[in-house]
Every structure is written in structure tokens, then in C-alpha cells.
Homo-oligomer: A and B are copies of this chain.
Amino acid sequence: MHRTAAVILASLLTSAGASTQSSPPSQPPGFVNTLMPQPANLSTQEGRLTLAPSFAAAADRYRDARLDAAIARSLNRLSVRTGISFSTSPSANGTSSALTISVDGPGEALQSVDEDESYSLDVSSSGARLQAATVVGAMRGLETLQQLVQSDATGYFLPAVSIHDTPRFRWRGLMIDCGRHFIPVEVIRRTIDGMAAVKLNVFHWHLTEDQGFRIESRAFPKLTGLGSDGLFYTQEQAREVVAYARERGIRVVPEFDMPGHTSSWFVGYPDLASAPGPFLIEREFGVFDPVMDPTRESTYKFLDAFIAEMAAIFPDRFMHIGGDENNGVEWKANSHIQAFMREHKLQNTAALQNYFNQRLLKILEKHGKHMIGWDEILTPDLPKDIVVQSWRGFDSLAAGAKAGYSSILSAGYYLNLMSTAAEHYRVDPLPETNRLTPEQQARILGGEACMWMEQTTPRDIDSRIWPRTAAIAERLWSPRDVNNVDDMYRRLSVESLRLEALGLTHISQEAVSLRQLAGSEEIGPLQVLASVLEPVTFHERAHMQHPNQLTPLNQIVDALPPDPPSRHNFELLVRAYLQNPATQLQEGTKLTSEFKAWITAEPGVLRLMAGSPTLALAQARAEQLTKLGTVGIEAISYLSSGLPAAAGWKAENLAVLDEAEKPQALVRFTVIKPLRDLVNAVPESSSR
């Protein structure tokens, strides 16, 4: 009987990987650096500050309600972590306190991209001092403080460090598409908690889509009344989210995607559209024809009133107008619109969209907002205070920067694609090889992770966002040369637990979903299988399943996190073993026991599948796991003994891996590449 493979692997790596993976050589042996994102400057000393009941915090310079609340939250988290009951009210007098917080002032009344987020944190055995120019800077430092807490048999402590930290990029966001699947407010709140923990500073709230209009409009009640299935945020809830984010130093940028992606608007207000209607909430996913009619003054009158209303709810200087994926079909089919284009000498639908954007821009300006939109909005006649969000890549970013436009990168940060943390981590908004001038470089403001929701529901969203987004957050905050993937994964596994402490369900959801699928609390064997599976890519799933908005997302794929810890841990173990199979006996034994666990799991998994038709869709995967285990055991047996395999063994076993690698049942194995390395390393006799 077995624990899950993920757990086995984590256990193996405690001894196998930790010593070579932990901290840079400059740090004293007692200090384990688990900071994420890594600070710009860190030096360590010998010594520690013990966390005892007397530990208290005081702001000795500027103080306000937001800072006090942040300090109280921070102390409360320390209490829960350590079991020590700290006074959670910051004291006015810093003399007797272990933690002194010195803040120059409140920072911007309305946080912008120019907010000073830098801070310094000095911990010695006699106390800690956090210094920052702004309250937001102090909040960033308090998150670092949380990440510094360590424990050993003697108790909980902060190691002696000196940190001077400032972000590399000023715009570090997470977008959530609440249009395609609605996300309840409490999930938004805990997501914001996670963002604050990894020092993200923009929550980009994608509020309207073909599949749903998610924000209450009192001026136009049919937007949600007919376009939301009753699933939307009230204005009060939206204001609460804005306030909640501001309390954590996070801006909220709302997106109202137009002129395309607007089917849900037209259900209640068909006169906005370029085709006659009637319209329905779109249930399929993709690019659709419905698009606003940019030739009618009534459209702009509507948008003026709507944006006035939204501007009162969302105080951020930026408003996102989408602008993406307008296929122009309805514009071309509408003779009135065609006549308008001729009349205004608009050569093509892109030119007409530019006309629309120009009109929209004036409305935004009237209501005090800068425009941000996707790649497609960028045309030379837009003013330089707009921001372009690139889903196309760095080249598009660079072209914008050269033309004088500010931009942020999202290409490479699409969480829905089911890429690995390492893949996201390697994407840099400003690669070392860029050929931009310093002035142009400064126009690249940062980036945003994007959680598109076609294949995700509130049940599994946490595991799609976390912990991978922490790797993206580090890319956007930390210096460019913080780029060691192994070290990132080592720290990511610690950060993942810290994020769980905030109430995020990215770890726990897997077992919850597997229990539901199995209809049983007895899911041990299923967890073994699940630990070496992950979702196929977004595009593979779209192709294989064609899910729409009404498709129940309740298969094994929906239980599994992308890029599970087992993937990297297994790779490390195989890498360590292959350094010298004949002498790496411990690793060999561990691999063999892991492979045996795979084989042993099959009967139990098949038993569960027999009672669960949904789970049974993945039956072939259970059978393949036994084959993979067999391949592994044979490979280890040859490699450890040094004896060659019979001719043909390699081809035969690589074929097993090739077969298992194919996407099937919407899932793929995480262990194929290291298994292939093992098989390829086996010497083979030249004759059969």
C-alpha cells in the first residue's frame, strides 16, 4: 500500500535534492532562502530573531488605517503559523517592539503604475526594522517578512538578513476571465490574497464576454438581466473587491471587451449590434460574428452612459476596452455600415475599428480614464498615454515601444494553456537580447498572467492559477538574472504551502475531486495514478472534447493541477541517478519503489473505475501506468547492474513510451521524458 507518488517523490528529494538545491553559497548554513519573488538585494548574517509572545510591531513614523490593518493581518498570520498569540494591534510606541515599521507617507491617493513599492528589511537578533517610502512598500515588505519565518526544534524565528528590494517592472498583473465561467466573489478575494503574497499589483477583471455579462449596470439592467444567467457582481460587490484590493496594494483594472466579444450585451440591447438579432448568450467558445455597430450615434450614447457608471465604481486610471478578435463579418454584411465606411473613407474593417476606438477614447477621456486594450487596438493615431496588452509576444511589445507606446506582456503567461511553471518563468518581457534604447525599454511596463476560463470552473481555478503564477510574479518582480529553474521549483514548493495557508485550494482540490469522481474516501491507488498525470494542453482539450459553457467539467483532467510537483521532482531524481547508475544506489532503489507503486496501483484504480463511468474514461491510463512502471523497473535493473539489454529492447520500450505520450482521456503523463532518458541510457547488445 502506498502514499501518492507525489508524496513519495517529495520524500525522496528531501535527501536527494535539497543539499544541492538550496541556497546560494554566500548564505550562512542556517538560512534557507525560500523567498518568492527573490528580492533585488539580499545579504545574510549569522543570528536570528526569536519569535516569542513579546514580539510586537509598531509604526514609528507615518501611520494610517490601511497600514495598521496590514500590520494586524501580518501579525495574525504569524500567530496562526507559530501558535503564539501576538498582540495584533500595532502599538504607537516602537521602543519595546521587536518589529519597527518606518514609513514616510501614505503613497499615492490613488495607486498608479508610479507607486513606490520599494522597501528595506533588516533583521538582527535584537529586532527587525522595515522601512518604506509608502504604505504599499511596507505591505510588500510585510509579505517578505512572512516568507522569512523559519522553525527548528527550538522554535520559530526570523533569520538575520538585510534586504533592499524594489520591483523590476511596475505593472505585474493577473487577469481573470469571469465571462466564460463566473467566479464567486470569495474566490476573487482569496485570489487577491495570493496576489499580494507574491507581490503582484494589478487585478485585471475581465467582466464581459460573449458568454456572460458579469457586472451590474443600473443604467442598463438588461445587460445582466438577460445576459448573465443571473451570475454577476453587484456594484456593491465590485466596490468591495476594489476596496479589498486597495487594502493590499493592488489596483483593479476592469475590462469591458468591445466592439467584439459582445454577444451577451446584445441579448438585452440588440440595437447596439451590427446585425438584426435577436441574440442569445453564446454557449460555444471561439471568435463570433456579433459586434457593436460603430456607425450609430446611439452606440456612443450608450457607451458614454455605461462608462460613466463604471468609472464611478472602478477608480483606477485605466479602463480596459478589450478590442480583440473582431472578425469583421457583420460589418461586411451590413450595407449601412459599408456605406458609412465608404463615406468616411475607411478602407477596411480595421480602419473602422480604429474609428470606433477613437470615439471610445474620447468617452474614456471624458470620464478621466486612460485606455488599455489588446494588441489589435494599436494604430498610429492613438495618443501615447494608452497601454497595449500583448497576447502576440515580445516583437509586438518592442514595435509598440519603438512607436512610443507603453505596453505589457501577456504572451507566454496564459495560465489556461497548461504550460509548466518553467516555461512561463523563461518568458521575459524585456529579454537580455532586446535592442531597445533605455527610453524604449522604460515603456515596457511589465506583464500579466491570464486566466482564460473556457476549461476552468470555480472548483478548479485555484489549481490553474497557483502556484505557477508565483513563478510569473517572480519574473516580473525580481532581477532578470534570477533565473535558475531548479531553484525556482524548490522555492515554489514552499510558496505553494504558504499560498494554501491563505485559503487557496490549489493543493486540496485534487483529493476533493478524486473522492467525488471515485464516490469514495478510499482513493489511495487513484492518487498514485493522478500524481503522474496532468491536463493535456488547452488546444488539445478543445480539439478532443469541444467543451462549451454548459459542459460539466468533472473529469479526472479537472482534478489535476498542471505541472504537478511530481514532474520536476521525478526529473531531478532521474537526473541524479543517471549521473552514475552503478553507484547511485539510493536513487536506484527509490526509482524502483516508485515504479512498483505504479504497478501496484492498477487493480485498485480499476476497482474504483468500475463504479464510476466518468472515472472509467481514463481506464487506459491506469493500464499504461503499469506498463510505464515495468519499463522503469527493467531500465533500472539494466542500468544498476551494468548488463546490456537484448537488442530491440530499447526500441520496444521507447514505443511503449511513445504510445503513452499521446494525449488521451484529456490527460498526459508527466514522466515520459525522464523515462525516455532512462531507456536511452541502457546499453544494448548488438545482437539479439
Using CB atoms and an 8 Å cutoff, list the residues of chain A in contact with chain B: 1-3, 6-8, 10-11, 14, 79-85, 88, 151-156, 184, 186, 236, 493, 496-497, 500-501, 505, 507-509, 511-512, 515-516, 519-524, 550-552, 554-555, 565, 593, 597, 610-614, 616
The 10 closest A-B CB pairs, nearest first, are A3-B524, A186-B186, A10-B522, A508-B508, A79-B552, A83-B614, A11-B522, A508-B512, A155-B613, A83-B552
In the bound complex, what is the Cα–Cα distance between A184 and B519 (angstroms)? 29
Shortest Cβ gap from A641 to chain B (Å): 25
Q: Give A134 Cβ to nearest chain B Cβ, in Å.
A: 23
Question: In the bound complex, what is the Cα–Cα distance between A509 and B80 (angstroms)?
Answer: 15
Q: A497-B516, A552-B80 are in contact. Are A523 and B7 (CB under 8 A)?
A: yes
Q: Which of A186, A520, A521 has the most CB of B within 10 A?
A: A521
Report yes or no: B616 in contact with A153, Cβ–Cβ below 8 A.
yes
Kindly list 19 other residue pairs between chains A and B, CB separation below 8 angstroms, not including A153-B613, A153-B616: A1-B1, A1-B3, A6-B521, A7-B522, A10-B520, A10-B522, A79-B552, A81-B554, A82-B552, A151-B613, A152-B611, A154-B613, A156-B613, A186-B186, A493-B521, A500-B512, A500-B516, A501-B516, A508-B511
Q: Is the CB of A507 within 8 A of B522?
A: no
Residues of B with C-beta under 8 A to A610: 152-153
Assembly of this chain: how many copies? 2
Nearest Cβ distance between residue A361 and chain B, in whole angstroms? 36
Shortest beta-carbon distance, A31 to chain B, in Å?
15
**Minimum C-beta distance from A149 to chain B (A):** 10
A452 to chain B, nearest CB (A): 21
A611 to chain B, nearest CB (A): 6
Contacts of A152 in B (CB 8 A): 610-611
Q: How far is the CA of A84 from the CA of B184 in the complex (A)?
A: 23
Given contacts A83-B555, A554-B81, A611-B152, contact A507 B497 (CB under 8 A): no
A496–B522 Cα distance when bound, in Å, is 13
A551→B85 contact, CB < 8 A: yes
CB–CB B524/A507 < 8 A: no
Q: Is the CB of A83 within 8 A of B554?
A: yes
**A520 / chain B contacts, CB cutoff of 8 Å:** 10, 497
Shortest A466–chain B CB gap in Å is: 13
Q: Is the CB of A82 within 8 A of B614?
A: yes
Is B236 a contact partner of A522 (Cβ separation < 8 A)? no
Jot down 9 A-B pairs with beta carbons below 8 A, ordered by A.
A1-B8, A2-B2, A6-B521, A11-B524, A88-B550, A153-B616, A500-B516, A507-B521, A508-B511
Query: Please, which residues of chain B bring their CB within 8 A of the CB of A493?
Result: 521
Min CB gap A532→B, angstroms: 15
* Contact, CB under 8 Å: B515 / A497: yes
Residues in chain B near residue A593, CB distance under 8 A:
1
Chain B residues closer than 8 Å to A84, beta-carbon distance? 552
Nearest CB of B to A630, in Å: 20
CB distance from A521 to the nearest CB of B (A): 5
Q: How far is the CA of A156 from the CA of B11 in the complex (A)?
A: 39
- Chain B residues near A616: list those with CB within 8 A: 153
Determine the residue in chain B with the shortest Cβ distance to A512. Answer: B508
Chain B residues with Cβ below 8 Å from A85 are 550-552
How distant is the Cα of A628 from the Cα of B662 in the complex, in angstroms?
Answer: 48
B residues near A612, Cβ cutoff 8 Å: 151
A230's closest neighbor in chain B, by CB?
Answer: B69
In the assembled complex, how far is the CB of residue A27 from the closest CB belonging to chain B, in whole angstroms?
Answer: 18
A611 to B497, CA, bound (A): 15
Q: Which residues of chain B are near A508, meaning CB under 8 Å?
A: 505, 508-509, 511-512
Chain B's closest residue to A551 (CB) is B85
How far apart are the CA atoms of A507 and B516 in the complex, in Å? 12
Q: Considering only CB atoms, which chain B residue lies closest to A186 in the complex?
A: B186
The smallest beta-carbon distance between A529 and chain B, in angstroms, is 14
Neighbouring B residues of A184 by C-beta, 8 Å: 186
**Distance between Cα atoms of A156 and B554 in the complex (Å):** 14
Q: How far is the CB of A561 from chain B (nearest CB, A)?
A: 12
| Cα A70 to Cα B293 with chains together (Å) | 39
State the Cβ distance, A235 to closest chain B Cβ, in Å: 12
CB distance from A362 to the nearest CB of B (A): 36
Please, how many angstroms separate the alpha-carbon atoms of A529 and B225 in the complex? Answer: 53
> Which of chain B's residues have a CB closer than 8 A to the CB of A10?
520-522
Chain B hits for A81, CB < 8 A:
516, 554
Q: Shortest Cβ distance from A133 into chain B, in angstroms?
A: 27
Indicate whether A507 sits within 8 Å of B512 (C-beta atoms), given known contacts A552-B80, A613-B151. yes
The residue on B at minimum CB distance from A184 is B186
Residue of B nearest to A503 (CB): B459
Closest to A555 in B: B83
Instruction: Give chain B residues whose Cβ lies under 8 Å from the Cβ of A156.
Output: 613
CB distance from A592 to the nearest CB of B (A): 13
CA distance A107 to B112 in the complex (A): 54
Closest to A2 in B: B1
Query: Would you give the shortest CB distance from A158 to chain B, in whole angstroms?
Result: 15
Within 8 Å by CB of A521, from B236, B523, B565, B611, lies B565
Query: In whole angstroms, how far apart are the Cα atoms of A153 and B610 in the complex?
Result: 5
Closest chain-B Cβ to A163's Cβ sits at a distance in Å of 22
A99: min CB distance to chain B, Å: 18
The complex places the Cα of A7 from the Cα of B1 at a distance, in Å, of: 10
